[in-house]
Chain A
Amino acid sequence: MSDVAIAAKGRSLWIDAWMRLKANKAAVVSAIYLVLMTFACIIGPNLTGHQFTTIYADYVRTRPSLSAYPKEDMVQKAIDEVAKRARMNLEGWKLDGDRAVMTFASARPIDERNIRYIDRSDTFEDARVDEKSPDGLKMVFSARVQQLHFYFGTDNVGRDLLTRTLMAGRVSLAIGLLAGLVAVVIGVIYGSASGFMGGKTDEVMMRIVDILYALPFTFFVIMLVVFFGRNFILMFLAVGAVLWLDMARIVRGQALSIKRQEYVQAAEALGVGTTGILFRHVIPNLLGPVVIYMTLLVPQVIILESFLSFLGLGVQEPMASWGVLISAGAKNIDTATWLLIYPSIFLISTLFALNFIGDGLRDALDPKDR
C-alpha cells in the first residue's frame, strides 16, 4: 500500500462518556452553574462597587436590601447628627433628585465652614451652600446622598457582604481546585506506580502511606505553620499532602486490577517497558474513577479549608474564604442571620453542583452501563 487511506474518526470512550454526561440534566445544569459561579467570583468583586476591605462605619450590620442605602430614616438620622455636631437647628429637609437639601437655622450667624460637618458623614458628599439668608441666621445646604447598594447586607465592621462572599469564593474555589489537582497528580502517579510494580515496592510504598495516614492532620498543619509561617501556598500543600493518600489507595487498587488485564500482558510481551505501560495503558484506563473522585475531592478540600480557617490556621483577615465567612456568620446568628445565610448558600450550592457532576460522571464513565 503506497498511500494511506483516510482514517474514519472513531468514537473514543471519552467522547462516549461526554455524550452520556450531556444527556444527564442535573450534571449539565450543575456544570453551567459552576461556570457561572466561577465567573462571578472572578469578575464580580470588580462590579459590586465596593472594595472587599472598605469599611463603612455608618453601615455596620446593615440588612440586605435590593434598594439603595441610605433609606429615608437613615438620612434623617444623618442630618440630625450633622445638626447636633454643628450646633444648628434643623428647620426641614427634602430630597431633590439624589441631593438632600437641608435648611438650618441658628441663634447666631452660621459659619459657611460648617459644611465640613456634612462632608464628614459617610452618607453625604459634594456638599454645597445653596442659599444664605441676609442676616446669616438661616442657611440652606445641599449635598449628594451617597447611593450605596448592599444586596447581601454588611458585616460586623461594615464591609459589603456580597463583595466579600465573591472574594471568598475565589479563595475557596482556587484552593479546592489546586489542592484537588495536587492530590490527584501525586496520588495517581504514586498509586499507579505502587500498584503496578507490586511486590516489595508496593509494600514499602503503601506502608509509607499508612504512616502518613497516622499523622494527625491538625497537628501536621500546625507544624507547617510553625515552621513556614502563615502562607496561602501552605494551605495547598497541607490539604493536598493529606488528601493524596486516599487517591493513592484508590488508584493502587485500580492499577492492581488493570495490571492483570490482558492488554497489559500483551504490552509486556511486545517488550514495552514499565514506564511505557504505566503511562500508555495503566493511567489512561484508571482516569475514569480518578475524574469521579476528583469531583468529590474538591468539596472535601473546600470543607477542610473551611475547617482550618475556622481554627484560625487558614486564610486570615481581611482576606476571606467561605469557611471564614460562615464561621463569622455563625457567631452572629442571633442578630444578623444574613451573615450566615448568604455564604452558606454559596458554599452549599457549589458543593451540590460538584456532587451532581461527580454522580453524572460516574454514570457516564461506568463501562457496565454501556
Chain B
Amino acid sequence: MAGAVLSLKDVRVTFSTLDGEVEAVKGVDLSVDRGETLAIVGESGSGKSQMMMAVMGLLARNGRASGEAIYAGRNLIGMDKKTLNKVRGRKLTMIFQEPMTSLDPLYTVGSQIMEPLMQHRGLSKSEARARAVEMLELVKVPDARRRMDSYPHELSGGQRQRVMIAMALANDPDVLIADEPTTALDVTIQAEILDLMAELQKRVGLAIVFITHDLNIVRRIADRVVVMRKGEVVEQGKTAMIFKKPKHPYTKALIDAEPSGRKEPPPKSAPLLLSAKDMRVTFRLGGGWFGESLLEIKAVDRVSVSLCQGQTIGIVGESGSGKSTLARAILRLMPSEGAVIFDGRSIANLDSRAMQPLRRQMQIVLQDPFGSLSPRLTAGQIISEGLLVHEPSITSAERDRRAAQAMVEVGLDPATRSRYPHEFSGGQRQRIAIARAIILKPKLVVLDEPTSALDRQVQKQIVELLRNLQSVHNLSYLFISHDLAVVRAMSDHIMVMKNGKLVEQGSPDEVIDNPADPYTKRLMAAAFGAHAHH
C-alpha cells in the first residue's frame, strides 16, 4: 500500500467493566490512502467509533488499545501524550456527531478555531485570526468575518458542524476522521455538509475516514467501504463493488435494510377519528411577571389535519418546522388555538382533568429511546404505568400480566420485564416505548420520529412492527419524521411542513415522486438524490 497515509494493523480495543473485560475491537487491519474517502460502516456497538478513538488516543479511562496505527512511519497507539499531541489535532483531526456539544459554549467560534492554530503552528493572534476567517469562508459560513465573534448557541446546527470542519481543517491535516458528522442534522443540511466535504477533499487532497451507519451517505461520498460487525471487519472493498455484489450476508442485510413495502390504505368507509382545524401554537418570549411579551414565534400557523380510523398521516419537515409541536398541540399537551374534534367530541377546551380519561385513547411514542424511558424503573413498570392511571382498580399481578402480554406483542421477551432500560439496546427500548403506548389500547398514536435514533436494520424492524400493530388494533397514526424513506413505507398521506406552515400535502406518490412546491423538491432531492449520484 504505497499511498497509505494511515494504516491500522491488528488494532484491538478492550474495556474493563464491572462484568469483566469486554473486547470492543478485535484485531482490525485497514488503511487509508492519500486523498481517499474510506467509509467505515456498521451498526451501533460494532466498535467503529472506538477504533478511531483509540487511534486518536481518546479512549475512555477504562479502555485499552493495542496493535499498530502507523502514521508517517510512527505507531500512534501507545505513544505518549506529548508526542501524540503534535500529531493529533494537527495532522489527524476529528469531527464528532453532535455539533451542539462539541463546541465549547463559553468561547466565540473564532477563538475556538484560532486556538489550535496558535498552539500547533505558533501563529500570532492576528495571523491566526486571518486564517480562521479564511477557513470559515472555505466551509461557506455566510458572513464569516462577523461570525468569528459569535458564540456557538447563535449558530444553527449545520453552521456549527461547518465550524467544526473549519477547525479540523485549519491546520492542513492529512487525515480527517468524521464520526457520524451528519447524523444529527436535517436531510437538506446533511446534503450540503456532504457536498462541502467532498469539495474540500478535492481542493485540499486530504484523506477522510467517514464513520457512519447510513449507507445512503456511503454510496454518496465513499471510495472504499469497510463493513464492521461486533468489532471485526466482515468485508471491505470499492463502494460500487460492495453495493453491487456484497459477499458477506451481513453486508447484504445492511444494504437490504432500507424500509420497504407500502401500507394498505384504510377502507373508504373508515370513520373520521380526528379533525383539527386551523391549529396555531404561539410561543411568547421575554416579558416578566407583568410585562408584555417581547417576541412572538408562530411555531404552528393555521394547520389542519384530518385523520381516519386506521389511517397514517406522515408529517415531514426539518427540525424547527413545527411538526412535533403540531402533534403535541393536537394531543393537548401544549396550549394552542384551533378546534380539535376527537372521536366526535370537541376537546379543544378541556382542562387537564377532563382530558385525563381521554388520554388512554391517544398515545405518543417519542424519538429518543434513551431519554423516553425513566432509568430508575423496570421495563415492566414503565409499560404498565398507564394502567396505574386508567385502570387503578386492577391488581399488581394483573398489571404484570398485561405488561408481559404487551411485551410479547411488540416482540420482546417478557422474561426481561424486570430489567432496567439501560440493559436494553436502542431498538428494544423503542419497542418498550411502543408497548407502553399500546397497552392502553388507544385509537390514536402519535409517533414522533420513532425510528430516527436507530440503525437502519432496526428501523426496518420497527416499521414492520408498527404496521403490524396498526392492522391488528386498527390504530391511527400521526407519523412524524424527517426520514422520507420511512415515511413512505408507513403513510397513506403526507404533509410537508416548513416554518410552522403546511407547504404541501398529498399521497406519498404525489408528494415524493412529483413534488410541486420548491421546498418539497429540495427536500426530496436531498433525501433521494443520493441514489442517482453513483
Contact = CB atoms under 8 A, between A and B. Distances in A.
A5 B416 CA distance: 9
B375 A13 contact: yes
A285 B366 contact: no
Interface string B418-429: 111011000000
Interface in A190-216: 200, 203
B516 interface: no
A265 B366 contact: yes
Contacts of A10: 378-379, 416, 418-420, 423
Interface of B: 18, 289, 331, 333, 355-357, 359-360, 362-364, 366-368, 371-380, 382, 385-386, 388-390, 400-401, 404-405, 408, 414-420, 422-423, 433, 436, 440
B363 A269 contact: yes
Nearest to B409: A1
A171 B450 CA distance: 56
A17 to B, nearest CB: 10
Given A5-B415, A19-B18, A13 B376 contact: yes
Interface stretch (A47-55, A138-146, A271-279, A321-329): A271-279
25 contacts: A1-B401, A4-B400, A6-B415, A7-B414, A9-B418, A10-B378, A10-B423, A11-B419, A12-B420, A262-B368, A263-B372, A263-B374, A265-B364, A265-B372, A266-B373, A269-B331, A269-B363, A269-B364, A270-B363, A270-B389, A271-B356, A271-B357, A273-B389, A284-B376, A287-B376
A5 B380 CA distance: 12
B415 A7 contact: yes
A281 interface: yes
A370 B60 CA distance: 10
A280 interface: yes
A130 interface: no
B134 to A, nearest CB: 36
A7 B413 CA distance: 9
B452 to A, nearest CB: 13
Contacts of A1: 401, 404-405, 408, 414
A154 to B, nearest CB: 50
B417 A7 contact: yes
Nearest to A3: B401
Nearest to A23: B18
B419 A4 contact: no
Contacts of B389: 270-273, 276
A266 B401 CA distance: 22
A287 B374 CA distance: 13
A16 interface: yes
A67 interface: no
Contacts of A265: 333, 364, 366, 372
A13 B355 CA distance: 34
Contacts of A281: 374, 377
A267 interface: yes
Nearest to A22: B18
A214 B418 CA distance: 47
Nearest to B419: A10
B333 A269 contact: yes
Contact of B372 (A4, A13, A262, A367): A262
A65 interface: no
Given A10-B419, A270-B359, A285-B374, 12 more contacts: A1-B414, A7-B404, A7-B414, A8-B415, A11-B420, A11-B423, A13-B375, A13-B422, A19-B18, A261-B374, A269-B359, A270-B360
A206 to B, nearest CB: 13
Interface in A206-253: none
Given A1-B405, A10-B420, A270 B366 contact: no
Contacts of A12: 376, 378, 420
Contacts of B405: 1
B18 A20 contact: yes
Query: Closest 10 interchain pairs by CB?
Result: A271-B359, A10-B419, A262-B372, A284-B376, A262-B371, A7-B418, A263-B374, A269-B364, A270-B386, A262-B366
A133 B385 CA distance: 97
Contacts of B355: 271
A287 B382 CA distance: 19
Contact of B386 (A263, A271, A367): A271
A211 B334 CA distance: 33
A262 B370 CA distance: 9
A268 interface: yes
Counting chain A CB atoms within 10 Å of each CB, which of B359, B366, B375, B440 scores highest?
Answer: B375
A4 B385 contact: no
Interface residues of A, number: 38
A185 B386 CA distance: 28
B436 to A, nearest CB: 7
Interface in A282-313: 284-285, 287
Contacts of B372: 261-263, 265-266
Given A10-B423, A13-B420, A203 B400 contact: no
A270 B373 CA distance: 13
A9 to B, nearest CB: 6
Nearest to A265: B366
A5 B390 contact: no
A179 to B, nearest CB: 27
Nearest to A268: B333
Nearest to B408: A1
A6 B362 CA distance: 31
Given A266-B372, A271-B356, A284-B376, A8 B289 contact: no
Contacts of A261: 371-372, 374
Contacts of A8: 415-416, 418-419
Interface in A5-53: 5-14, 16, 19-20, 23
Nearest to A2: B401
A273 B372 CA distance: 17
A267 B405 CA distance: 20
A8 B378 CA distance: 11
Counting chain B CB atoms within 10 Å of each CB, which of A9, A20, A200, A262 scores highest?
Answer: A262
Nearest to B382: A263
A86 to B, nearest CB: 76
Nearest to A12: B420
B244 to A, nearest CB: 41
A284 B416 contact: no
B63 to A, nearest CB: 12
A370 B419 CA distance: 17
Counting chain B CB atoms within 10 Å of each CB, which of A5, A261, A267, A269 scores highest?
Answer: A269
Given A4-B400, A5-B415, A10-B419, A271 B374 contact: no
Nearest to B359: A271
B18 A276 contact: no
A271 B386 CA distance: 7
Contacts of A263: 371-374, 382
Interface string A159-198: 0000000000000000000000000000000000000000
A330 B414 CA distance: 65
Contacts of B359: 269-271
B376 A285 contact: yes
A279 to B, nearest CB: 11
Nearest to A14: B376
B422 A5 contact: no
Nearest to B375: A13
Counting chain B CB atoms within 10 Å of each CB, which of A10, A200, A273, A287 scores highest?
Answer: A10
A280 B385 contact: yes
